[in-house]
Amino acid sequence: MSSAHRGRGDISHLRFGRRAVAGVVVFSFPELEVIEESLAVGELSFPYVPGLLSFREGSLLERAFEGLSRMPDLVFFDGQGIAHPRGLGIASHLGLRLNVPSVGCAKSRLWGEAGERTGGKGHGSP
């Protein structure tokens, strides 16, 4: 059985600076061995606006993906996907631009309230 290739894309920048580094790591699944890495360095031209992360970080992340020899089968992004208030966060946006399935793994909620979890492991909240 051959392993699938998963990718992880993220960006880092100085808190008050415009210079940033976008990185992509492609790894095998389920072995989790690193297969390839790509970096892109550049200036962020769009200001930070909550809900508009794609416009700030998207182009630099795309450049990092262009440095890969092979696109992963699935990509995880540090940001919202369809849970975005407009239904198109950075994960969904770049998934469409790169033509690859994507998942948003955001650290914070942009809107809404989470109720108490209704079940055990694997269940959600209303």
Pair 81, 103: CB distance under 8 Å: yes
pTM for the predicted model, two decimal places:
0.78
pLDDT for res 9 = 80
- Burial class of 107 by CB neighbour count within 10 A (0 to 12, 13 to 18, 19+): exposed
Q: Nearest to residue 10, comparing CAs of 28, 24, 29?
A: 24
Residue 63 binned pLDDT confidence (cut-offs 50, 70, 90): very high
Q: Give the residue carrying structure tokens 């061995």.
A: 33
Supply 59's token pair.
Answer: 């182009």
pLDDT for res 90 = 86
Query: What is the mean pLDDT of the segment spanning 32-56?
Result: 89
Residue 1 binned pLDDT confidence (cut-offs 50, 70, 90): very low
pLDDT > 70? residue 126: no
| Percent above pLDDT 90 for the chain | 37
| Percent above pLDDT 70 for the chain | 87
N-terminal to C-terminal alpha carbon distance within the chain:
39
Name all domains of the chain by residue range, CATH numbers in brackets. Answer: 4-104 (3.30.2170.10)
Lowest model confidence (mean pLDDT) among 4-13, 17-26, 84-93, 106-115: 106-115
